[in-house]
Amino acid sequence: MPKHTFIRPFINRLQAYSVGFLHLFYPHICIHCGSEELQAENILCIACEKNLPYTHFFSIEKNTIEKIFWGRVPLHEAGASLFFTKDSIVQSLVFALKYKNQKKAGRLLGNIIGRDMLHSQRFKNIDCMIPIPLSKKKQRARGYNQALVICEGIQEKLPHIQILPLLLKHKNAISQTSKDRIQRTQLSPQSYAIIDRSQIAEKNVLVVDDVITTGATIESFCKYILNEARPHSISVVAAAYTI
């Protein structure tokens, strides 16, 4: 009998032990419900993935997201893929992305947006996407911009769309959540720094964010891009919309 016939069961058992051992310290469970019913690379279990609350906004003209920005900033198209509610699967995904260093959650959200864009006829001409910049302080604390991770997830579905990450000039410039909307929109536009205007000029630009609530940050950012870089058009997508 060949030697490996004896060794194989031993190796298999060792592998099983090491997986069990790792599982003890790094349990591979659904980030929302804690179920172990999920595939190796996934962060949501099959049931939670099935229950994601899709908006189906992307194919609808004059959808809820577009209406939010009517009279505020001229957007070409806009959409958000999921509904955001308290204690929901979507909240768990966004929380994991923003506060638990789980970039997989951002890529999944980006994949969902990318799929929505692919199935819609309305986002066909996008040339480049810009993640909403994070304040320097937040970026330092988090180590990454969650909107950029979402862009990477979109790019996995739409590889031809270039990502252009912009920086902020001043620290904490868009982290003014305690101030009212009008004050915030007045404060923000001087705070962004475009690296290269020629990359945006005459292009169909897509601005990407994680969650849309009032739309104030997106509004001021889009106004800035429109004024400073003169794109051909500007559109907005987000992973979720707060209802």
Q: Which residues bind Zn ion (CB under 5 A)?
A: 30, 32-33, 35, 45, 48
| Nearest CB to Zn ion, comparing residues 45 and 75 | 45
Query: What is the smallest separation between the CB atom of 92 and Zn ion, expressed in angstroms?
Result: 8
Query: What is the smallest separation between the CB atom of 68 and Zn ion, expressed in angstroms?
Result: 30
Query: What is the smallest separation between the CB atom of 51 and Zn ion, expressed in angstroms?
Result: 8
| Nearest CB to Zn ion, comparing residues 32 and 104 | 32
Contacts 24+ apart (CB under 8 A), 27-36: 31/92, 31/93, 31/96, 31/100, 31/102, 31/105, 32/89, 32/92, 32/93
Cα–Cα distance list, 174 to 66, 79, 171, 216, 222 (Å): 22, 22, 8, 10, 13
| Nearest CB to Zn ion, comparing residues 30 and 174 | 30
| Nearest CB to Zn ion, comparing residues 49 and 228 | 49
DSSP H helical segments within 26-102, as ranges? Answer: 46-50, 64-69, 89-99
Query: What is the smallest separation between the CB atom of 44 and Zn ion, expressed in angstroms?
Result: 6
Positive/negative CA dihedral, 135, 137, 140, 141: negative
